[in-house]
Structure 1
């Protein structure tokens, strides 16, 4: 009887030890997959879902990703439906490139006259580049600079007259830090300089986007929040975007975002869904 009791105690201790190791491994398995020392250094960071990055920080040559986004915004006089398709890839280590086509469609509400609603449009042709100039695995920190050039197009009502109505110049800086294995923070900031070709006038705003995420142990899933802040001379707008990302398959993810404006001057609640496909992941 004493031998049997001793055997049970030993087995229980072994099972508990195995469970602890298993939990630790689950907590770090995805980080280990990303931060593979046989390749250039890379730190795992949670990427915000609404104002997303051009490519992962510390991108490695050959990485690529397709994104399909769908969104709905409840404005005061009309609803706007957002759709985008984008392709991003890394031709060399640390450099990410992206091409994006964003569309917006409008629908009047509350008896609003159709003529007073903006025309549907392909908003622009966006091309972008991002260079990760600092990647430190021991510090779990990455930094990058980038540039987005947005060729603004005329709406469908006057499409082609002119074809390009303006341009947006958008340099930016990204700083990201992971705290332990699960907590992530990121700052994405830079000016947006809009040029109107017809008047040749420039209008500048400044964006500061901060995000915080918690990545679920042993998965690529996370929950988090974005704070999208825009300074326009004396005006300040902020939208809070709680969000979550779920892995559907090994190379397929879905992100779900809600938008809550702090001031409801022009719009109310919004929602956004992003489908992320990583070929050959």
Structure 2
């Protein structure tokens, strides 16, 4: 009996210390490795995203085609409702303008809101020891018709795009990332498929969020292989505002020439981080 009483007393005395330890563990932020995120094919949310994180992106770009110029714009909202889970809503627009090489009677593609893009990404492996992260995700786009065809309906089809991401940080400043997966486009009962494989290499400037890097966007389809090389850099404008500038250099210049892209990134203060300070 004395042994039982002694054991119960020991447990009761240990409970406050155990509760304090559990409280510290419950407030400890989940593991996360800082990876440099490519600026053109960007991620849905940071790898290892923490609950409460959110981000606004505004992008603008221009591409020189053989017979016309293509202007793009996008608005994105990213947020993390749970640890390691990122969600995104994006509205991408495309507008066209005739250039000097195009005959006056040649029709241009129709200006459009490309579609409504919804996406999710889950980081299933995050290792601070290995400085590595792995994630899977899915993008679904409800493709839309040009503005001048809305009288025939808004939507033209669907784009299905599952993907896999692997990222590695080498020391304090060098970063590599792979983003790959199939893209299936279904329009008018017809399905076209391709495979994208994007690799990026970045150098993060010490003591800042600024980086220099290069993104290699590769695609295999029934039309063959295509690759665009995109040198890029990111610059801090304020504590929560960044600007990224990208230049696109296509390997095959038959139909597409140089391009440029600007991305503005605004990241409001992390709510969970404020609570834990």
1:139 partner SS: coil
Aligned counterparts, 1:1-281, within 5 A:
38-110=28-100, 111-113=102-104, 116-196=107-187, 198=188, 200-233=189-222, 235-280=224-269
**1:234, CA displacement in angstroms?**
5.6
Point out 4+ residue stretches in structure 1 off by more than 4 angstroms: none
CA deviations 1:225-265 (Å, max 9, x no partner) are 00000000360000000000000000000000000000112
CA distance in 2, matches of 1:234, 1:107: 25
TM-score w.r.t. structure 2 length?
A: 0.86
CA distance in 2, matches of 1:114, 1:247: 45
**1:38, CA displacement in angstroms?**
3.0
Gaps in structure 1 of 5+ consecutive residues:
1-36
**1:157, CA displacement in angstroms?**
1.5
TM-score w.r.t. structure 1 length?
A: 0.85
| Residues 113-122 or 233-242, more deviating | 113-122
CA distance in 2, matches of 1:217, 1:141: 19
1:49 partner SS: coil
**What is the RMSD computed on CA atoms of the aligned residues?**
1.2
CA distance in 1, matches of 2:73, 2:223: 31
CA distance in 2, matches of 1:115, 1:264: 21
**1:103 to 1:114, Cα distance in 2 relative to 1, 3 A:** farther
CA distance in 1, matches of 2:103, 2:211: 40
Quote the residue 2:14 is aligned against: none
Q: Does the CA contact (< 8 Å) of 1:78 and 1:112 recur in 2?
A: no
Quote the residue 2:8 is aligned against: none
CA distance in 2, matches of 1:91, 1:114: 51
